[in-house]
């Protein structure tokens, strides 16, 4: 969002009057979606931490904090993204969990 006023100088009509102009960014922000991780009784804690590091770029400390939150509360937020990115992250986590035969569930909701 930029606002601009011209130089107030010559306007080409010989009056020297300035013309106010406004430029608005027309790019609309995408609707945000939260990616949620769900607790279960079988997925190892280390695997959840690995997912959070690998797919949500968390460091060990942040990943451990989110994993423990999910473990204790049942659900936790991995991050907020556009629908397309959120959907991709959910698929990546679910595919990786399936490959490793863990029942880990991940979903998304409108933020
Ligand atoms: N509750 C699991 C355990 O005790 C750990 C776990 C944490 C599983 C977070 C899933 O999203 C999850 N092994």
Does the Cβ of 37 fall within 6 Å of ligand 1?
yes
**pLDDT at residue 93, as a whole number:** 98
Does the Cβ of 106 fall within 6 Å of ligand 1?
no
**What's the half-sphere exposure (Cβ side, CA atoms, 13 Å) at 58?**
19
Q: How far is the CA of 12 from the centre of ligand 1 (A)?
A: 70
The H or E element that residue 83 is part of is: helix 83-99
Per-residue pLDDT of the chain (111 residues; tens, 9 = 90+): 333 333 333 343 434 454 456 677 788 898 999 999 999 999 999 999 999 999 999 999 999 999 999 999 999 999 999 999 999 999 999 999 999 999 999 999 999
Residue located nearest, by CA, to atom 4 of ligand 1? 41
**pLDDT at residue 82, as a whole number:** 97
**pLDDT at residue 27, as a whole number:** 86
Cβ-based burial of 46 (10 A; exposed 0-12, middle 13-18, buried ≥19): exposed
Full-prediction pTM beyond 0.75? yes
**pLDDT at residue 9, as a whole number:** 35
Cβ-based burial of 78 (10 A; exposed 0-12, middle 13-18, buried ≥19): buried
Q: How far is the CA of 71 from the centre of ligand 1 (A)?
A: 5
Strand order in the sheet with 75-81: 75-81, 33-38, 105-110
**pLDDT at residue 26, as a whole number:** 84
């Amino acid at each position: 969002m930029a606002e601009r006023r011209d130089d107030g100088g010559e306007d080409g009509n010989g009056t020297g009057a300035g013309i106010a102009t406004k430029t608005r960014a027309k790019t609309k922000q995408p609707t945000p979606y939260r990616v949620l991780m769900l607790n279960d009784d079988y997925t190892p804690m280390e695997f959840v931490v690995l997912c959070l590091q690998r797919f949500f770029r968390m460091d060990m400390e942040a990943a451990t904090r989110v994993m423990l939150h999910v473990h204790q509360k049942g659900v936790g937020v991995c991050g907020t993204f556009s629908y397309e990115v959120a959907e991709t992250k959910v698929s990546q986590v679910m595919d990786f969990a399936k490959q490793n035969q863990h029942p880990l569930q991940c979903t998304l909701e409108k933020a």
